[in-house]
Amino acid sequence: MKHTKLSKEALKEIRANAGRGGLLYRDLAKKYGVHVMTINYWANDVLKEKAKAAKRKWTAKNKDYMKEYHRKANQALKMEVLSHYSSTLECACCGERHIEFLSMDHIGGGGAKHRKEIGLGKLYHWLKKNNYPAGFRVLCMNCNHAYGHYDDCPHNKKDMFK
Ligand SMILES: [Zn+2]
Ligand SMILES: [Zn+2]
């Protein structure tokens, strides 16, 4: 079915009245000299557009909400696990206390392999699920890096970078 193109003015009025029903559509059809089905067609178009926009808005809002929800849940889990391994919440080597810098260290290495086995990003879940097994400690990123790459930390007053 071909639908007559309508004037901007007519479309504006349809937009404002879309979804209000047949009687109004009939009035609009009379006013603009077109078939009521034409009004109906454009009104449905407007309604579809509105529904799509509403869905987009809901999805965007929900995405932010879920992102925030997961961020908070992950933070809480990290705090819970760290506090099991360091009641004072600090790096076992240098005493760093900014939570943002702290992470779990596999004492004696093997961390990369273990993380691969249990899945990337799953260590905190894994530690909690396994009732906080021994062999782990809290280290800051710097100390963690030093132990990982040099098997020791310069905080131990050794000059390892030769
Ligand atoms: Zn440290
Ligand atoms: Zn250190």
Q: What is the pLDDT of residues 22-37, one digit of tens each?
A: 778 899 999 988 898 8
pTM, 2 dp: 0.62
Buried b (16+ CB within 10 A) or exposed e, 112-141: eeebeeeeeeebbebbeeeeeeeebbbbbe
Q: What is the pLDDT of residues 65-82, one digit of tens each?
A: 989 999 999 999 999 999
Distance 36 CA to ligand 1 centre (A): 75
Distance 32 CA to ligand 1 centre (A): 76
Distance 120 CA to ligand 2 centre (A): 24
Q: Where are the domains of the chain?
A: 8-60, 86-156
Per-residue CA distances from 120 to 36, 72, 84, 115, 149 (Å): 60, 19, 21, 6, 20
- Distance, CA of 53 to CA of 82 (rounded, Å): 43
Q: Does the pLDDT value for residue 160 go beyond 90? A: no
Ligand nearest to the CA of 90: 1
* Amino acid sitting at position 117: E
Distance 97 CA to ligand 2 centre (A): 13
Query: Could you tell me which of 69, 100, 73, 89 has the C-alpha nearest to residue 137?
Result: 89
DSSP 21: -
Distance 56 CA to ligand 1 centre (A): 45
Q: Does the pLDDT value for residue 21 go beyond 80? A: no
Quote the crossing angle between the two packed helices 22-32 and 36-85, to the nearest 10°: 130
- Range in 18-22, 36-40, 60-64 with the lowest mean pLDDT: 18-22
Distance 145 CA to ligand 1 centre (A): 9
Ligand nearest to the CA of 105: 1
Specify the pLDDT at position 2.
57
Total number of residues shown for the chain: 162
Distance 25 CA to ligand 1 centre (A): 72
